[in-house]
Amino acid sequence: MNSQRFELVTGPLRSMRRAIAWWSAGMAALVAGTVIFWPIFKGSTGITDALNHLPPTVLTAFGLQDFGSPAGYLRANLYEIVVPILFVATAVTLVGGQTASDEAAGRLELYLAQPVRREAVYLGRAIAALIGLAVVTLALLVVQIVMDAVVDLPIDLGFLLPTVLLCAFVGVFYGSIAFAVACARPRPSVVMAVGIELAVLSYLIVAMFSFSTVLQPWSQLSPWSWAFAGDPLQTATDLWRYGALVVPSIALVLIGLRAVAHRDIAAG
């Protein structure tokens, strides 16, 4: 029975390995391509001075504060928007591809006709996507650490690690939404759209609401705020921020599994 459970995870991982490799390579290239320009900006006051002419709310909204510092440079170029969105895209495409896309194409038919519960098949695919995301996270972290050393970008690992983890957890959160949608309604385009668009919306809530004193408190409802409002590249991250992303993710997966157990499997 253990080999059966193992297969439910390793089978999807085998079919995802190219996607995982491409996402890892893409993330690594993005980080390397960004960090390599740090020596040009290091100590340069020109851009910092220019940015300082912008209103503080604009700087905060787009993560541009302290652009000339190592943390500010990484935040503005990578960890404020780009990397979290890419993690969301990675998670949503991996989990959506293994669930909604495979089911809608009829590729799950033979698996679900075996002596396994359909919840187990879906959970196996969610775990495989999670492992895939972990590999991408690790690739990004390793390249970030190596490149930091190469170009002499001093960033404390105690801040870098939580930042990268929070980005990955944001991916897990929206991947879980995509998973729940796929479990309820296996339409690949809907799954991808809901997962990614909700992530963009939650970022926009944080960014746009910061311009209004009336709306600003409501930005705390956004998962983006739960993850990044504490400025994890410069400040110690509170544990609740991880929990705020992980606990709903687990709940979403459980809701999804309950949904898939009680519906028809789509024909190919």
Partner 1 sequence: MDPVLQVEGLVKHYGAVEAVRGIDLSIEPKEIYGFLGPNGAGKSTTIRCLVGLLRPTAGTIRVFGLDAAKDGVAIRRRIAYLPGELRLPERLTAAQFVSSIGRLRGGEGAARCQELAGRLQLDLDRPMRELSSGNRRKVALVLAFLANAELMILDEPTSGLDPLMQREFIVLLREARDAGATVFLSSHVLSEVQRVADRVAVLGEGAVVASGTMADFRGRARSHVEVFFADAPPTAELAALPGLVDPQVTGQHFTATLSGPIGPLLSLLAQHRVASMLVEEPDLEEAFLDIYGGGKP
Cβ closest to partner 1, residue 158 vs residue 264: 264
> Residue 82 or residue 109: which is nearer to partner 1 going by CB?
109
Q: How far is the CB of 267 from partner 1 (least distance, A)?
A: 6
CB 16, min distance to partner 1, A:
10
Q: How many CB atoms lie within 10 A of CB 261?
A: 12
Nearest to partner 1 of 102, 231 (CB atom): 102
> Which residue number, 94 or 147, has a Cβ lying nearer to partner 1?
94
Select from 43, 55, 158, 264 the one that contacts partner 1 (CB under 8 A). 264
The distance of closest approach from Cβ of residue 121 to partner 1 in the complex, given in angstroms and rounded to an integer, is 9
Give φ, ψ of 42 to 5 degrees.
-60, 125
In angstroms, the CA 161 to CA 123 distance is: 27
CB-side exposure of 28: number of CA atoms within 13 Å? 13
Q: Within 166-225, which residues bind partner 1 (CB under 8 A)?
A: none
Give 106's contacts (C-beta < 8 A, 6+ positions apart). Answer: 266, 267, 268
Within 10 Å of residue 218's Cβ, how many Cβ atoms?
12
Binding of partner 1 by 119 (CB under 8 A): no
Residue 33 CB, nearest approach to partner 1 (Å): 29
- Long-range contacts at 24-27 (CB < 8 A, ≥ 24 apart): 24/135, 24/136, 24/139, 24/140, 25/139, 26/86, 27/83, 27/86, 27/90, 27/136, 27/139, 27/140, 27/143
Binding letters toward partner 1, positions 98-117, x by CB under 8 A: -------xxx-xxxxxxxxx
Stretch that binds partner 1, among 2-10, 30-38, 45-53, 238-246 (CB under 8 A): 2-10
155: nearest Cα among 241, 242, 74, 239:
74
Q: Rounded to the nearest whole angstrom, what is the least distance from the CB of residue 188 to partner 1 in the complex? A: 14
- Token pair 């339409």 in the structure block, residue: 187
| Nearest distance in Å: CB 258, partner 1 | 14
6 touches partner 1 (CB under 8 A):
yes
Q: Is 14 in the site for partner 1 (CB under 8 A)?
A: yes
Name the site residues for partner 1 (rule: CB under 8 A).
1, 3-4, 6-8, 11, 14-15, 18, 105-107, 109-117, 262-265, 267-268
